[in-house]
Structure 1
Amino acid sequence: MDQQQYPTMYPSAPPTPGSNMEAGLVATGLPVRRQQQLGGAAPDSRDGWAGNDPNTLIVVATLITALNFLLGLSMPGGYWQTDQIVSDAGSMVPRYRAGDPIMRDLHRPRYWVFRGASWVGVASSMVMTLSLLVRMPVGSRHVLWSFAVAYSSLVLTFIVSQSRTHLSLDIIIWVAVLALIWLVISLHPDHRARVIRVLFCCDRDN
């Protein structure tokens, strides 16, 4: 009985460097991201913020959480060491109690802004950490906004803790920093460079 002859099958040759690299990777079933690790050019979608490593951002978010937590514990002005007793209608009543924040009793609006900034900073950085742990895209607005708010809250807690500053000016500075951070991390590098040149009046075309 004649046996049917089949042509000898040889494994495909490895893709040649250059333009055939991506086609070779697709043919072998490797993801396109492997091409970047082998030296290929990264696509435009991974430029700028989207090209960051999620593991690195998790470390950054953890550090921001720790910093906001420490700032929240370091109350500017400290705490009352003893009760302050005052006379009210012939009776002695405590005006300030030991352990209460001095800033809360003497500068109440500034205290609540400081406390709110530290709370928002911790919450935003924790949201960013959880978002990255559940594999949300690095370039998603959820991650971008949580990073911008958490990072800018460090500036707000710092400037509010300083003495002899106007609270309204501190909030304006915080809004400006928040907008700048959002501008830096959300725009494509080419668009960001163009906007910076326009803002600082250094457009090279002129």
Structure 2
Amino acid sequence: MSENQLHTAVLLGHVEFINRILTTNPELSKSLNSKGSSALHLASAKGHVTIVKDLVSVDSSMCYVLDGDGRSPLHLAAIKGRTVVLGELLKAAPPAAAVLTAAGESCLHLCVKYNRLESMKLLLKFLERDDKLLNWKDREGNTVLHLSVAKKQIEIVKYLLNNTRIEAESRNANALTPLDLLLQSTRDLRDLEIKQCLEKCRESVARNDTDISEINKTTKNSAKKKHKHTDWLARKRNALMIVASLLATVAFQAGLSPPGGVWQDDFSGNPNSTIRADKPHKAGQSVMAYTLPKKYGQYMIFNTVAFLASLSIILLQVSGLPMRKRRWMWTQMVTMWIAISAQTLTYFVTLVSMTPKHVERTVYDVAKISVMVWLSLIGVVFVGNASRCVMYLLRKYGYIAEKASEAIVNGEDEEDDDVL
């Protein structure tokens, strides 16, 4: 159904004309326009308080109706920040505050999504002790605290933590808490203040739920280890992303610009010549592929391995998968070793192919020594990480005494966490 007289009058804000229409034909308040919006939807979005009062006095059930976009009049008032209108709608139909959008979002989600703090405060007053709606999760498993932390809305985060019983440790569909989301997001000047608020709230909950002696003996150490574990993962993720991006850029450029460059013109070939360079070739093809085909094959294999390994790390980092375990980070670190090693071999192949015959022996000797040193370094790093893995498994399955385990956690493990 297209717009009727009531819809047009609401858009223009003609209060007296609207009263006449509602008096003579109140059923028009239930009619929907072509976008599925009622007159109450339009009045709520426009912020016409008097018209909203008149419409809900005729039929308050329209507060529950969703428009073509899956939103009720309360949703539109929250999105637009129409606080007074929102109050009138809540007075007329308090249960309408629990109506969800077609996307599974509550009014509180919309307030956070569009940064409407005052509207959110009003809704929370009406909800009072309705913790179910306060901690409601959208289709991605995010509570309003998850959204406010992701959007770096400091004022909303503080209000939720200080004035409501929001679950600060709730996990979304990716098993991430609000603090985990903060640590994985792009760095910002507001991060420190938000992090302090979340940690303070968590400590307060721990004090209320746990005995003081238990906090001193267990909770303090486990919280410290969890913080350290999360910080370690965040540092390693950032370092891997930077190094992987650099290696991918270098490998991509090396693939497009092989040693010796590319042919600048087409050549049909010289059938009487035994020189490889005189064979037929086309502009844009690699010169090295004709002059040194074996070394060119080695060059492209190592360079491609480095390129794909680097892209794999970047893909895992931006995929949004829940990689909060050390074993995932170790897998990415091994992939990075492969990428760096392949890039190193690419360099040596390039160096050898560009070296003249009269100094080729010297270059080979230097390359051998360099490769041996490089393999030794890789071996040391591998043994170090393998030792850490073994100690972790022994500690996990109880093969190490409790005191020795605590010494590892408080001493050796702190140093090992900074080793790539």
Structure 2 vs 1, CA of residues 126 and 102 (structure 1 numbering), >3 Å: closer, same or farther? same
Measure how far apart 1:102 and its partner are: 0.7
CA distance in 1, matches of 2:326, 2:242: 14
Which among 86, 103, 128 is matched to residue 270 of structure 2? 86
Structure 2 vs 1, CA of residues 23 and 87 (structure 1 numbering), >3 Å: closer, same or farther? closer
Measure how far apart 1:81 and its partner are: 1.8
User: Within 5 A, what are the aligned runs for 1:128-143?
Assistant: 128-133=313-318, 134-136=321-323, 137-140=325-328, 141-143=330-332
Q: Tell me, yes or no, if structure 1 residue 154 matches structure 2 residue 360.
A: no
CA distance in 2, matches of 1:75, 1:171: 23
Contact kept in structure 2, 1:114 and 1:160, CA below 8 Å:
yes
Measure how far apart 1:190 and its partner are: 8.5
Q: Tell me, yes or no, if structure 1 residue 102 matches structure 2 residue 298.
A: no
Q: Report the 3-state secondary structure (helix = DSSP H, G, I; strand = E; otherwise coil) of the residue aligned with 1:83.
A: coil
Amino acid at match of 2:253: L
Q: Report the 3-state secondary structure (helix = DSSP H, G, I; strand = E; otherwise coil) of the residue aligned with 1:78.
A: coil
Equivalent residue number for residue 41 of structure 2: none
| Cα deviations by residue, 1:33-83 (Å, 9 ceiling, x for unpaired) | 23x4xxxxx7xxx7xxx7943132122212211111112222100112233
Q: Which runs of 5+ in 2 are unaligned?
A: 1-206, 273-277, 389-420
Structure 2 vs 1, CA of residues 53 and 98 (structure 1 numbering), >3 Å: closer, same or farther? closer
CA distance in 1, matches of 2:379, 2:326: 14
Equivalent residue number for residue 384 of structure 2: 187
Equivalent residue number for residue 311 of structure 2: 126
CA distance in 1, matches of 2:368, 2:295: 11
Question: Highest Rg: 1 or 2?
Answer: 2
User: Within 5 A, what are the aligned runs for 1:24-35?
Assistant: 24=220, 32-34=225-227
Q: RMSD value over aligned CA atoms? A: 4.1
- TM-score, length basis structure 1: 0.58
Determine what percentage of the aligned residue pairs are the same residue. 22
Q: Which of 145-154 and 133-142 deviates more? A: 133-142
CA distance in 2, matches of 1:109, 1:78: 16
- Using CA pairs under 8 Å that are at least 6 residues apart, name the structure with larger relative contact order, 1 or 2: 1
Contact kept in structure 2, 1:132 and 1:138, CA below 8 Å:
no
Equivalent residue number for residue 37 of structure 2: none
User: Within 5 A, what are the aligned runs for 1:3-42?
Assistant: 20=216, 23-24=219-220, 32-34=225-227, 36=228
Q: Which runs of 5+ in 1 are unaligned?
A: 1-10, 37-41, 192-206
Structure 2 vs 1, CA of residues 142 and 178 (structure 1 numbering), >3 Å: closer, same or farther? farther
CA distance in 1, matches of 2:316, 2:218: 31
How many pairs does the alignment contain? 161
Measure how far apart 1:139 and its partner are: 4.5
CA distance in 1, matches of 2:294, 2:236: 40
| Cα deviations by residue, 1:12-41 (Å, 9 ceiling, x for unpaired) | 5xx99xx92753576xxx67423x4xxxxx
CA distance in 2, matches of 1:135, 1:168: 46
